[in-house]
Amino acid sequence: MKLIVAIVQDQDASSLVEDLTEKDFRVTKLASTGGFLKAGNTTLLSGVEDDKVDEVIKVIEDNCRTREITTSLLTVTMPGDTYIPYPLEVKVGGATVFVLDVEQYVRI
Ligand code: 2BA
């Protein structure tokens, strides 16, 4: 068995969870925050049989889009806490996916 950890954009999360559950995959949705942008994103956990991993990744691909995001990060440039915002363009990926081996899976 594998545990799929997928970090996706909030906008894509609902349709992705819907598609996964429609296909009988179990999924847990967590609210998360990206370390770089410090903006909300969604982390999904899904435990699946080894032979289903590709199918889940395909569903993720079908639902998640790459987006250009313009944001403004704050930086401290002066002693005395002067904050200067500067615009930053980043391409946020459709999804960041980790596939981990599961040692044991128990449902009680
Ligand atoms: P954030 O850390 O908020 O990153 C958002 C986007 O900012 C990233 O998109 C990337 O385009 C850019 N970015 C991140 N760190 C950067 C850096 N040091 N320099 C320049 N640009 C940077 P994605 O790569 O698609 O990542 C989207 C979200 O997925 C991330 O949000 C983070 O929450 C998660 N993530 C990505 N890679 C990860 C990893 N190796 N481990 C854990 N979480 C990861």
6 Cα distance to chain centroid? 5
The pLDDT, as a whole number, for residue 81 is 61
Q: CB–CB of 34/41 below 8 Å?
A: yes
- At residue 99, φ and ψ (nearest 5 deg) are -120, 120
Residue 74 has pLDDT above 90, yes or no: no
* CA–CA separation, 32 and 25 (whole Å): 21
36, 86, 100, best to mutate for ligand 1 pocket (most atoms within 8 Å of CB): 36
What tens digit of pLDDT does each residue of 21-65 get? 999 999 999 999 999 888 999 999 999 999 999 999 999 999 999
* CA–CA separation, 100 and 108 (whole Å): 22
Cα angle value 19/22/24 (rounded, 5°): 115
Residue minimizing CA distance to atom 28 of ligand 1: 34
The pLDDT, as a whole number, for residue 77 is 59
Q: Which long-range contacts (CB under 8 A, 24 or more apart) does 80-84 make?
A: none
Instruction: Report pTM.
Output: 0.89
* CA–CA separation, 85 and 19 (whole Å): 39
β-sheet bridge partners, residue 42: 8, 31
Residue 73 has pLDDT above 70, yes or no: no
β-sheet bridge partners, residue 65: none
Residue 83 has pLDDT above 80, yes or no: no
Ligand 1 atom closest to the Cα of residue 41 is 33
Residue 76 has pLDDT above 60, yes or no: no
Residue minimizing CA distance to atom 12 of ligand 1: 90
Residue minimizing CA distance to atom 44 of ligand 1: 96
